[in-house]
A and B are shown apart, each in its own frame.
Chain A
Amino acid sequence: MTERPMEAVAQEQREVQDGPGPEDAQPGRSLWGDAVHELIRNPLFIAPLLVVLAIVSMAIVPQLWTSVDPQACQLADSKQGPSPGHPFGFTVYGCDMYSQVVYGARPDIIIAVVCTVGTMAIGVALGTLAAYFGGWVDVLISRLTDIFFGLPFILAALILLSIVGSHSIWALSAMLILFGWTQMTRIMRGSVLETKNRDYIEAARALGAKSPRIIFRHVLPNAIAPAIVISTIALGTFVSAEASLTYLGVGLERPTISWGVLISGGQEWAVAGHPHLLIAPCAFLIVTVLSFILLGDALRDALDPKLR
């Protein structure tokens, strides 16, 4: 019953934007079913999905993509450009760049996914609670956010990583989550603050719906868009962050192979006349991030009833 306003809006809009279409307006399908139906026919969803699947398969089974041992390096080949059998040339250490990039996907995909999911979970939960309930809950969460936000990340990273004594993927991810959730929390809080005063929420409340139901059925679906946008961006920034930490001397433990390690290790030589050291790892990173962002956009468009 409380869903009526949303559905009404969605229905109305579909007519306004697309006109009545026989495929689109099948009344029996659920919201999710609609979304899936729409997504599989959207090339801007399928193409990035294929890219992401490819990258994820690289992360899980790199052997599928290359038969070259990434650790078979000859320093004498250092920084050599592309040649037959070595399409991207060689790294600073004389390793085959292509196989390094393939094997380098795993740490970055793990870090990006773990950190995005982690910050998203914390940020959405705390941000929603703070904005929805207000009062002392809001004060507590907001001020806690302030405390964490004020600390320079690099300080915490330097000290905590040396205390943990490990620069593993997991230690790095935990660090990025510990100091990355604040942004998401603030965005989510702002968004929920705006949503919770909308008419349909008021209506739901007036009709006696309980808080959990209002939050999950009405507030979250309408307030989560900025969080999704930021999180698809964050996915890319976490990989950049991994590279930057390596550049600052607190990144992944060598000789781990990752895109960030390749980028930070190649940067100095690349700008001094060996651009191919940056091109391959950056291209993989850019295409991956672009795919995630396109996926995020398509997903949000499909799930957001207002945009139909």
Chain B
Amino acid sequence: MLKRSRFVVALAGLALLASACGGGGDDTDTSSGDSAGTTNEGGSFSIAIGEPHNLFPPQNCYASECSAVVNQLYTGLVEMEGDELQYRVAESVESDDQIHWTITLKDNWKFHNGEPVNADAFIRAWNYAAYGPNAQNTTSFFSNIEGYDAMQGDNPKAKELSGLKKVSDYEFEVTLTQPFSQFPYSLLYTPAFAPISQDCLDNVKACNEGEKPLGNGPYTMAEPWAHNDHITLDKWADYPGDDAAHADQVNFQIYQQLETAFRDYQAGNLDIVSPVPSQVPQAKQAAGDRVIQTESSSFTYIGLPLYVDYLKDPKIRHALSLAIDRQTIIDNLLSGLGKPAQSVVSPVVPGGGGDHCDYCEYDPEKAKQLVKEAGGLPDTVTLWVNSGAGNDEWVQAVGNMWRDTFGVDFKIKTLQFPEYLDTGNKHGFTGPYRLGWLMDYPSMYNYLQPIYFTDVPNNYMGYSNKEFEQLVREGSAASSQDEALAKYTEAEEILIEDMPVIPMYYGEAFYIYSENVDNVEYDALNRIDVSKVTVNQ
């Protein structure tokens, strides 16, 4: 709730995937050692999280707090292992034309109450999420399925997606509005694409207010959600998947501020916690080698509103970027939790992490030169930042660097998040603004389309480049992943040359864990693989 509470403002896109996917060529192995051979079953452990927005329906969950829990209660169609897509509830997800997708399900999955997880379970869930009046947070995931538009508005014409067709009990077909080669990857965002039991859908209110949603995941709710205090999950003994839980019980301890959680760890009350940057040196000392530090999917950038006069000149945009010493900011204000960004796609994504930027090195002389050529900057640069997420610190450091390099004054406008988004929507920023992106699913597409396409909600820059969009579309229509990545990369290069945003850094996740637990692994962004954790007894 306060200035440093990272939780609260962690809306945004979501973290999903297995980091061990190593797509960027980096070694992101984060396993806690070789203790896999001495696996212990049973026991219980605790993890710190923020108060989730909601747990049911899973389709209403679009933030890292709730997905941490929802991902234990629900198992999705697919999973990621290494950089390979693996099937979980799905037997296969296939298409010949990237428009018509056939999803076949395994027939042995059940909900916690015994209901079968069949084609109907998915179709009813997706229809529920796509139906406008239900106002589910993840509704935009379904907007590329045929029939979505007819379900919006005050009195929608349709209650069901015309693009969903049941073929048999365990097979259904999805028709998209345009080719989308990344569709199987997008299914990795489990909360959006999770199945819902008929029992719960008949009585959404009961499942929601009873605080005990019925899922099909490795864990079940042990007791109703104790708001702002804890959520306790029990292992589901009849779990049919091969990723069953090891520990009998996991306790999500809810914190208002992350830095408090580390102090509770110090006092021996918590097993797994993610300290804030200022606490990293102390945490490393306290935890010894029981530490995870690895790339996360987060990408932090400074948006440049292209409707502001002085930012219309690409030379100015390049100069502003050249005047930022990213590594020094990361070292001193983030305790090293990050890597200077040389482009706009995180290295955890296949095809991401490339160096496509000619203007992302720290080069104040060149920066001054460019500004001179462009005819100078205004006397005062206004930087915009949303309060409450601990971003003001590095933004002010950027301001200092610009002042030192260009001799301009700067001013920081701090707004609460609702007002901040609203200002962006209305094109009200009068200067560079900070924002970040966490992927929903590991695909370059998820970094390129949602921020830079003409008029998409996150495009507060007012950026529009038809050539770039065309290349992204070609990538989405490609018949092989290699071809898709090549097209996406071409698009990325155009984008970074235009520089509608200044790339700042790719984030790193940092967790420490107590001697009570082992096998703590970070599977892609922002997600500890809870079912793999073992308790030392």
Q: A254–B396 contact, CB under 8 A?
A: yes
Pick out which of these stretches binds chain B: A115-123, A172-180, A214-222, A262-270.
A262-270
Among residues of A, the one whose C-beta sits closest to the C-beta of B263 is: A271
Asked if B259 lies at the interface with its beta carbon under 8 angstroms from chain A, I say yes
Would A76 and B328 be within 8 Å (CB), given that A264-B3, A272-B282 are in contact?
A: yes
A291, B328: Cα distance in complex, Å: 40
Looking at A76, A94, A268, A272, the one whose CB has the most chain B CB atoms below 10 A away is A272
Instruction: For residue B68, give the distance in angstroms from its CB to the closest CB of chain A.
Output: 24
Instruction: For residue A220, give the distance in angstroms from its CB to the closest CB of chain B.
Output: 41
Pick out which of these stretches binds chain B: A8-16, A102-110, A243-251.
A243-251
A162, B328: Cα distance in complex, Å: 33
Instruction: For residue B476, give the distance in angstroms from its CB to the closest CB of chain A.
Output: 39
Asked if B410 lies at the interface with its beta carbon under 8 angstroms from chain A, I say yes
Using a CB–CB cutoff of 8 Å, the interface residues on chain B facing chain A are 2-4, 259, 276, 278-279, 281-282, 325, 328-329, 332-333, 387-388, 392-393, 396-397, 399-401, 403-404, 410-416, 419
User: For A162, what are the chain B residues with a Cβ–Cβ distance below 8 Å?
Assistant: 415-416, 419
Give me the 3 closest cross-chain CB pairs, A-B, nearest first. A249-B387, A78-B332, A254-B412
Q: Other than the known A92-B332, A253-B411, A272-B278, what 19 A-B pairs have Cβ atoms closer than 8 Å?
A: A71-B400, A75-B325, A75-B328, A75-B332, A75-B400, A79-B332, A93-B400, A94-B332, A167-B414, A247-B2, A247-B3, A249-B2, A249-B414, A253-B413, A254-B411, A254-B412, A255-B412, A268-B4, A269-B278
Would A73 and B3 be within 8 Å (CB), given that A254-B412, A272-B282 are in contact?
A: no
A71, B399: Cα distance in complex, Å: 11
Among residues of A, the one whose C-beta sits closest to the C-beta of B329 is: A75
A265, B396: Cα distance in complex, Å: 11
A250, B385: Cα distance in complex, Å: 12
Instruction: For residue A242, give the distance in angstroms from its CB to the closest CB of chain B.
Output: 14
Q: A273–B282 contact, CB under 8 A?
A: yes
Q: How many A residues have CB within 8 A of the partner chain?
A: 26
User: For B276, what are the chain A residues with a Cβ–Cβ distance below 8 Å?
Assistant: 268
Among residues of A, the one whose C-beta sits closest to the C-beta of B332 is: A78
User: For A249, what are the chain B residues with a Cβ–Cβ distance below 8 Å?
Assistant: 2-3, 387-388, 414, 416
Q: A93–B397 contact, CB under 8 A?
A: yes
Among residues of A, the one whose C-beta sits closest to the C-beta of B412 is: A254
Asked if A158 lies at the interface with its beta carbon under 8 angstroms from chain B, I say yes
Q: A268–B412 contact, CB under 8 A?
A: no
Q: B3–A71 contact, CB under 8 A?
A: no
Q: What are 22 A-B pairs at a CB distance below 8 A?
A: A71-B400, A73-B404, A75-B329, A75-B332, A75-B397, A75-B400, A93-B397, A94-B332, A162-B415, A162-B416, A247-B2, A248-B2, A249-B414, A249-B416, A253-B413, A254-B399, A254-B411, A254-B414, A255-B399, A268-B278, A272-B278, A273-B281
User: For B410, what are the chain A residues with a Cβ–Cβ distance below 8 Å?
Assistant: 255
Q: B400–A255 contact, CB under 8 A?
A: yes
Q: A92–B412 contact, CB under 8 A?
A: no
Q: Which of B387, B393, B411, B419 contacts A265 (CB 8 A)?
A: B393
A253, B412: Cα distance in complex, Å: 6
Instruction: For residue A97, give the distance in angstroms from its CB to the closest CB of chain B.
Output: 15
Would A253 and B414 be within 8 Å (CB), given that A75-B328, A94-B332, A272-B278 are in contact?
A: yes
Instruction: For residue A153, give the distance in angstroms from its CB to the closest CB of chain B.
Output: 15
A288, B399: Cα distance in complex, Å: 31
A247, B257: Cα distance in complex, Å: 13
Q: A272–B392 contact, CB under 8 A?
A: no
A151, B281: Cα distance in complex, Å: 41
Q: B279–A75 contact, CB under 8 A?
A: no
Among residues of A, the one whose C-beta sits closest to the C-beta of B419 is: A162
User: For A247, what are the chain B residues with a Cβ–Cβ distance below 8 Å?
Assistant: 2-3
User: For B400, what are the chain A residues with a Cβ–Cβ distance below 8 Å?
Assistant: 71, 73, 75, 93, 255
Instruction: For residue A194, give the distance in angstroms from its CB to the closest CB of chain B.
Output: 40
Among residues of B, the one whose C-beta sits closest to the C-beta of A272 is: B278
Of residues 221 to 261 in A, which have CB atoms within 8 Å of B's CB atoms?
A: 246-250, 253-255
Instruction: For residue B406, give the distance in angstroms from its CB to the closest CB of chain A.
Output: 14
Of residues 45 to 60 in A, which have CB atoms within 8 Å of B's CB atoms?
A: none
A92, B277: Cα distance in complex, Å: 13
A35, B175: Cα distance in complex, Å: 91
Instruction: For residue B400, give the distance in angstroms from its CB to the closest CB of chain A.
Output: 5
Instruction: For residue A281, give the distance in angstroms from its CB to the closest CB of chain B.
Output: 17
User: For A272, what are the chain B residues with a Cβ–Cβ distance below 8 Å?
Assistant: 278-279, 281-282
Instruction: For residue A44, give the distance in angstroms from its CB to the closest CB of chain B.
Output: 38
User: For B387, what are the chain A residues with a Cβ–Cβ distance below 8 Å?
Assistant: 249-250
A268, B4: Cα distance in complex, Å: 8
Among residues of A, the one whose C-beta sits closest to the C-beta of B411 is: A253
User: For B328, what are the chain A residues with a Cβ–Cβ distance below 8 Å?
Assistant: 75-76
Instruction: For residue A75, give the distance in angstroms from its CB to the closest CB of chain B.
Output: 5
Among residues of A, the one whose C-beta sits closest to the C-beta of B259 is: A268
Among residues of B, the one whose C-beta sits closest to the C-beta of A80 is: B332
Among residues of B, the one whose C-beta sits closest to the C-beta of A269 is: B278
A268, B413: Cα distance in complex, Å: 22
Q: Which of B3, B404, B411, B419 contacts A248 (CB 8 A)?
A: B3
Instruction: For residue B222, give the distance in angstroms from its CB to the closest CB of chain A.
Output: 35
Would A78 and B396 be within 8 Å (CB), given that A254-B414, A255-B410 are in contact?
A: no
Among residues of B, the one whose C-beta sits closest to the C-beta of A73 is: B400
Among residues of B, the one whose C-beta sits closest to the C-beta of A78 is: B332
User: For A264, what are the chain B residues with a Cβ–Cβ distance below 8 Å?
Assistant: 3
Q: B2–A255 contact, CB under 8 A?
A: no
Instruction: For residue A256, give the distance in angstroms from its CB to the closest CB of chain B.
Output: 9
Q: B396–A255 contact, CB under 8 A?
A: yes
A187, B413: Cα distance in complex, Å: 38
A85, B333: Cα distance in complex, Å: 24
User: For B392, what are the chain A residues with a Cβ–Cβ distance below 8 Å?
Assistant: 254
Would A71 and B403 be within 8 Å (CB), given that A78-B332, A268-B4 are in contact?
A: yes
A303, B403: Cα distance in complex, Å: 52
Instruction: For residue B328, give the distance in angstroms from its CB to the closest CB of chain A.
Output: 5
Among residues of A, the one whose C-beta sits closest to the C-beta of B280 is: A272
Instruction: For residue A146, give the distance in angstroms from its CB to the closest CB of chain B.
Output: 27
A202, B269: Cα distance in complex, Å: 65
User: For A94, what are the chain B residues with a Cβ–Cβ distance below 8 Å?
Assistant: 332
User: For B404, what are the chain A residues with a Cβ–Cβ distance below 8 Å?
Assistant: 73
A2, B393: Cα distance in complex, Å: 63
User: For B411, what are the chain A residues with a Cβ–Cβ distance below 8 Å?
Assistant: 253-255
Among residues of B, the one whose C-beta sits closest to the C-beta of A165 is: B413
User: For B332, what are the chain A residues with a Cβ–Cβ distance below 8 Å?
Assistant: 75-76, 78-79, 92, 94
Q: B416–A93 contact, CB under 8 A?
A: no
Of residues 130 to 179 in A, which have CB atoms within 8 Å of B's CB atoms?
A: 158, 162, 167
A254, B412: Cα distance in complex, Å: 5
Among residues of A, the one whose C-beta sits closest to the C-beta of B389 is: A249
Among residues of B, the one whose C-beta sits closest to the C-beta of A270 is: B278
Contact with B along A70-103 (1 / 0, CB 8 A): 0101011011000000000000111000000000
Among residues of B, the one whose C-beta sits closest to the C-beta of A95 is: B400
Instruction: For residue B288, give the distance in angstroms from its CB to the closest CB of chain A.
Output: 17
Among residues of B, the one whose C-beta sits closest to the C-beta of A94 is: B332
A27, B104: Cα distance in complex, Å: 107
User: For B396, what are the chain A residues with a Cβ–Cβ distance below 8 Å?
Assistant: 93, 254-255
